[in-house]
Each structure stands twice: as C-alpha cells, then as structure tokens.
Structure 1
C-alpha cells in the first residue's frame, strides 16, 4: 500500500473503487456537512453509486485526466483531495477537497492539497492549478489562501445547486508562484 504521511497519525492514499464501502460509510458520517456546498454527498448515496464514482476517478487516473485521494486519520477515512480535471497538454488542473466534521480544523486538507499540487507541478508539468469554491464556503476559501492561491474572480450565479444558483470564486496558483513559495518555506 502506498501512503504519504500527513502528520498527526494521518496519511494520504489513493481512493480506489475497492474502497467503495469505506467511502460510503465516510459519506454517511459527513453527508450533511459535506453536502452544504458540493454535490459529492448527493451523488454517493449507496454502494453502487459510490463504486461508480470511484471508478470514474480510476479511469481518470488511467487516462491522466484526474485523480482522487483519501485522507485517513487514525486509520479512518475522513476526507479527501482530488484533481476534478487535469489537462497535461494545456498544463491546467482543477483541485478540490472535502472533509467530514470530525476532521475539521486539523490542517489535513491543506497538507494533502500541498502534496497533490507539488506532484502536479513537479511531476506532471502542470502550470496552473485552479480551486473553484462556492462563495459562501469560507473553510475552502481559507484553504486556497493557505495554499498561496490568488483570487482570480467570481463567476456570478454560475453553480446551480439544490435549487439555488451560487456564485463561484476562482482561485489559482501558477507553477512559478508555487515553486517560489515552496522554496521560501
């Protein structure tokens, strides 16, 4: 098993289809919290949908167009980070995250996102990593800030979710900015 230590008895691992039961149990624990801003909780409602969702990301990994990784704390899946999209030819990727309430406030998402962004920039040659976030999702906006991303703008009422249209903020970091910040650390 491949795992990257995140500290505090936490690690980052690939989230693969064979983990669908564990993923669904995690979704069930955090469904209300996770679903406040993203559709992940609405899409993964039973074992078949969870397995299908993870299979989509296994296919994306195989075609180098996306990735999904889980965050485990004390051996329990508590969240994750992903590249929802990744275009190596264009040098762009869209990163995202989610977390169940028990793991909030421990810096796990920020540390995990740093790992995948480092990989994307240094190993895959990604030039621009984007972070799209509902304007009301302060926790995710704070992660973008901690990652050193700049706010590019707001896509007004661009995200229809649960019967409402939400503004989406676009944050990004460019490879030279990322490298400079990592060197300064």
Structure 2
C-alpha cells in the first residue's frame, strides 16, 4: 500500500510539480477524500473506455499466466477489486449523495445496482463526468426491469449496432440516440 501511495506521489510531482506542492495546503482528511473520489472516477472511466487495469509490475510469470487464463468474462470479485463496481456506501461517498438519495435514484431507474453476496454494488461508470448523467439515466430507464447484471452486460459489451463500441463508449462520444435504440433492441431479447 505504501508503494502505491509513493507511486501516486511521484506521478503527481512529475505531472504537475506546482500542483503537487499546492496539495500541501489541503487538510489531510480532505486530501484523502479527494484522492479516493479521483480513484473511483478513474476506475469508472476505465470501464467506459474498456481499459484493463493491471499493475505495472507483475510479480511472476505465474501471475501473468493466471491473468491470461482469466481474460474471459470478468468475475464479480475482479470487478470489485478493480473498482469498476463500488459498494453502495463507497458509491455514496464518491458521488456525494446520501444513501436515501441513492435509493431514490435507483427506484426512479436513474441508477441500478448489481448484487454480490447479498450486498449492493453500483457501477463506477455513473461517476464519469464525461458522460451526461441524464443520458445514462435515460438508458437505464429504457432497460426497465432487467436484472442489474443484464444492465451491466448491456453497457459494457461491444454492440454491432454501435460500430462495435460498448454503449458506454458510444455515450462517451455523444451518441445517445443510437444507444437508446440499442437498449430498446436489447430489452426485446
């Protein structure tokens, strides 16, 4: 864990030395909250852009082989470990909503959850600022009463009607109408 924080400090210093020094002016607790928010937003963006997050340093050839054999459908545990799915409490903290507000958004079909071992998780892609929240909400409503995992699959699977982009990628590029059409087709299956 300490190595990870050191790497983040090196990256911040190399990327923007003046900005890195300005971080000293922010109280430690607030800096921690902001850093955590930034981490989950980046994980959400990685989901949108379909970037596989791996450590730069791979421990051994065995670990690389394990990763290669698991390149198929990601498991729920891997989605949580890579912060592509966030526990509801962490999602609330990252988005700045109360649990009641998140429940209201879920009930109104503007957000959706997936269940893992009787716990509710929300996709980190809801935190991606480059995708309009209203567009995401409209697509979630279009998907209606489908199970959360089916909605996850819709958003993260390349779609031939979207030139083989995932619906998340198409929304990222601003193609809301095509994604809505694809969602309607998806619900008919």
Structure ID, larger Rg: 2
More helix by share: 2
Higher relative contact order (CA 8 A, sep 6+): 2
More strand by share: 1
